[in-house]
Structure 1
Amino acid sequence: MKNRFKSVFIEDFDEMISPKFPVVFGVVLIYLATVFVQSSGKLSFHETIGFTIVMLIQILVFLFSNKIFKHKYWIYFIVQGIITFDYAIIAHEGYKTIVLGLVPLLIIQSMIVYNDAIKVILTSMFFYSIFGGTIIIINGFHELIQSLPLIIIITIAMRAYAIFYFKQVKLRIQTQKVLKELELAYEKVEELTLANERQRMARDLHDTLSQGLAGLIMQLEAINANLSKENVKRANEIVEKSMEHARRTLADSRLVINDLRSYEKRKMDLNKSLENEIDTFKNVSNAFISKDINIEAQISSRIIKQMVYIVREALNNIAKHAKAENVVVKIIEINNKININISDDGVGFDIRILDKLFGHYGIVGITERVKAINGEIKIESKRKVGTNINIIIPIEKGIDEENG
């Protein structure tokens, strides 16, 4: 606690009272009150010069204390006590005002330097001893008795200041702790944001460029197979579909790029977008596909976009890997939830080894997109039987703000 206190408030001894200007200003005010107010007419010219010199020495000792005393606080306070006593030697008549002002100021310095009540009490006793001893030596014991009420008032005032000051210390330490925690939390959020953005970009690139090129490759393979069989008419039909698919892939890629550059919301037609994905599947697969789409609720473009990508990814996986003869796409609204069910009768796969297949990001991308819209996903697959993907998306999580 002590080291932490000093690191926050007094990085070095020259920062004993931070900043130093208030202490210097306080000493100057006490000096002016002694010379020009209370003791006006009582100090001679030589006594005033002596007071000024001693005050300058005292300020210099304070300003350069770290270089002079090398963190030995007790030596610093002894020297300051001696300097304070010098005021009484210089002027027997005007010393009380300046000593009464300087003693509390030096005791407050000890409160800041020593985060230890015992050391502060010992330092206070030292300065009170100087004050009391000086009065007894110069003016007698009766003068000390007369000064006791003033000393008591000063002591109470310093106690009140100490309570207030250390409350501020505690509050500042707590504030800095909170600020540090906020800084760490901000760094963590920034890291998570960057990670999420990288994942989003990876999904978008996979669902546009990667899947688009994969579709073109399958169409080119179909063209090559038909040309080998001299089925030129069918090959030409697939060429036209391939060009249409290439244009759509380019358009989708531009949408992804624009999405990265802008936060502008674009309206999407769910039924039309899903029909395009089903048509694309028909062009690259010989499997028969049936659909049942029935959505009446208003859904945000963000949710629609994720749904379209999910369906696209599932159909592309079927076209590339499943070797299915029949595919069923069912997207319906049930109890304020969207139920997406995509099944095929293909070769199936072992879902237990899915995470070990490097480069197969389709199912991973689907899962990430489902989680991004607070949905749930369940995948069932058996070899030589087929695969079923069931996804449930809560509609209330995806309603546009303007519709909510």
Structure 2
Amino acid sequence: MNIKNDRSSVYKITELLEVSRVPILLWIILVYSGAILLQFISKPLIIQTIVFTFIIAVHISLYWKCDLLIGNYRWLYFFFQGILIIISSFLVPSGSPVILIGLLPILIAQSITIFQNNFKVFIVFIILYSSYCVTIGITYGIEELPIFIPILFIILTIVIFYSVTYNRQVNARVRMEYYLQELEEAHQKVEELTLLNERQRMARDLHDTLAQGVAGLIMQLEAIEAHIRNGNTKRSQEIIKLSMQQARDTLKDARKAIDDLRAKELKDIDFYRACVEKLVIFSETNPIKAEYEIEQIQNLSGVKKEHSLYILSECLTNISKHSKAKKVKVTIKKEQDFLLIEVADDGIGFPAHQVGKYIGKYGLLGLKERARIINGSLDIVSSQETGTTISVRIPI
């Protein structure tokens, strides 16, 4: 976090320096022209003027590249700039008031931008102010200081006021750009999470509709084959009718899943009746004895009804395919402010801690995802001695 803040601070300082380059350059050229003009009016000094021009060129170059010196060379930068200004004032003594009053306030104002620290700015001010007083005292005499000091403070006040106001405006713009960048990054993350959630949802819907439906049809076809081999034609015909109905239900569920992907609307579901129907179909198509205790649950949202039914269906499908159980008990009831769905069998069990680690085994992983989506909790207890118990608690 500190690194991020440091980078943001450096970026703001760099932005301020870059934006102020041209105005400061124009001001230095104006001060240079005024100093040359005053010196030529008083007494032309050719050699000193050439040296003065060279020094001002170096002074401008440092200003232009000052954004490269905002690291460990800040104090060195102000030292050299101050020395250049003082030397320039001695080279063209008649123009020294213009040089000192024109350039020193700019340097002090620039220290506000670069240091962003009141104590350091105060030190720069004291050093440059002392240099100003000494230079004026040497050039014009100490008795002239009462005249030049107020002029310096007037110019300095104007420059600092403009610099502070300008810095605030640029800082506000830099902050706005920073927050816009953060907002854009957050928006991209939301889009990525949305796409991921949609992919997971499609995987769950495909598994809980097509995969479950086809698995159920396969088991019924296997049962039909077994009955035909045993000559039990009547029972085979009954299972064929159930298979046809399940095929229709699977097609209906698949279409509903597609409709849900196209439009986010959930129709009202009779939760109690839907749970009983799933258990009746399970009992008629499996030799496993099913016992159930289902209560009428009120105030259950459509989303929670839908996911709860998928959880129940997945549990029953897993029992049919893998458990080798002889008995299953389903309990669906209200406990305080929670809906409890508990499915227990006396089968062979499985290693519950390895859920989701095998490719192609996504049923139990889908249960966890669906429970999480509706703010529920899912517990799995499984062993070879006691079978498997899956408990889901969903807030109502």
TM-score normalized by the length of structure 2: 0.70
* 8 Å contact from structure 1 (residues 378, 389) kept in 2: yes
Q: Give the Cα–Cα distance (whole angstroms) in 2 for the partners of residues 247 and 213 of structure 1.
A: 11
Aligned pairs (5 A) from 1:14-163: 18-22=16-20, 24-26=22-24, 28=26, 57=57, 59=60, 62-64=63-65, 74=76, 78=80, 81-82=83-84, 86=88, 90=92, 92=94, 95-113=96-114, 124=125, 127-128=128-129, 130-149=131-150, 151=152
* 8 Å contact from structure 1 (residues 10, 18) kept in 2: no
Q: Give the Cα–Cα distance (whole angstroms) in 2 for the partners of residues 268 and 204 of structure 1.
A: 17
Q: Give the Cα–Cα distance (whole angstroms) in 1 for the partners of residues 311 and 4 of structure 2.
A: 54
With over 3 angstroms needed to count, the CA separation of the structure-2 counterparts of 1:260 and 1:80, relative to structure 1, is farther
* 8 Å contact from structure 1 (residues 293, 332) kept in 2: yes
State the match for 1:400 in structure 2: none
Measure how far apart 1:305 and its partner are.
Answer: 0.9
Q: Which runs of 5+ in 2 are unaligned?
A: none
With over 3 angstroms needed to count, the CA separation of the structure-2 counterparts of 1:261 and 1:179, relative to structure 1, is same
TM-score normalized by the length of structure 1: 0.69
Q: Give the Cα–Cα distance (whole angstroms) in 1 for the partners of residues 378 and 28 of structure 2.
A: 78
* 8 Å contact from structure 1 (residues 9, 18) kept in 2: no
State the match for 2:243 in structure 1: 242
* 8 Å contact from structure 1 (residues 16, 112) kept in 2: no
* 8 Å contact from structure 1 (residues 380, 389) kept in 2: yes
* 8 Å contact from structure 2 (residues 28, 60) kept in 1: no
**Aligned residues between the structures:** 385
State the match for 1:342 in structure 2: 343
The amino acid that maps onto 1:318 is I
Aligned pairs (5 A) from 1:281-360: 281-344=282-345, 346-349=346-349, 355=355, 358=358, 360=361
With over 3 angstroms needed to count, the CA separation of the structure-2 counterparts of 1:71 and 1:340, relative to structure 1, is closer
State the match for 1:215 in structure 2: 216
- % same residue: 33
SS of residue in 2 equivalent to 1:82: helix
With over 3 angstroms needed to count, the CA separation of the structure-2 counterparts of 1:329 and 1:65, relative to structure 1, is closer
Q: Give the Cα–Cα distance (whole angstroms) in 1 for the partners of residues 325 and 32 of structure 2.
A: 103
CA RMSD in angstroms, aligned pairs only = 5.3
Measure how far apart 1:226 and its partner are.
Answer: 1.9
* 8 Å contact from structure 1 (residues 84, 102) kept in 2: no
The amino acid that maps onto 1:25 is P
Q: Give the Cα–Cα distance (whole angstroms) in 1 for the partners of residues 266 and 64 of structure 2.
A: 62
* 97-106 vs 151-160, greater mean Cα deviation: 151-160
* 295-304 vs 133-142, greater mean Cα deviation: 133-142
With over 3 angstroms needed to count, the CA separation of the structure-2 counterparts of 1:17 and 1:91, relative to structure 1, is farther
Q: Which runs of 5+ in 1 are unaligned?
A: 396-404
State the match for 2:225 in structure 1: 224
Q: Give the Cα–Cα distance (whole angstroms) in 2 for the partners of residues 181 and 65 of structure 1.
A: 28
SS of residue in 1 equivalent to 2:16: coil
Q: Give the Cα–Cα distance (whole angstroms) in 2 for the partners of residues 65 and 389 of structure 1.
A: 68
Q: Give the Cα–Cα distance (whole angstroms) in 2 for the partners of residues 83 and 378 of structure 1.
A: 78
* 217-226 vs 374-383, greater mean Cα deviation: 374-383
* 8 Å contact from structure 2 (residues 100, 132) kept in 1: yes
Measure how far apart 1:85 and its partner are.
Answer: 5.2
Q: Give the Cα–Cα distance (whole angstroms) in 2 for the partners of residues 300 and 316 of structure 1.
A: 24
Measure how far apart 1:218 and its partner are.
Answer: 0.3
With over 3 angstroms needed to count, the CA separation of the structure-2 counterparts of 1:27 and 1:129, relative to structure 1, is farther
With over 3 angstroms needed to count, the CA separation of the structure-2 counterparts of 1:385 and 1:275, relative to structure 1, is same
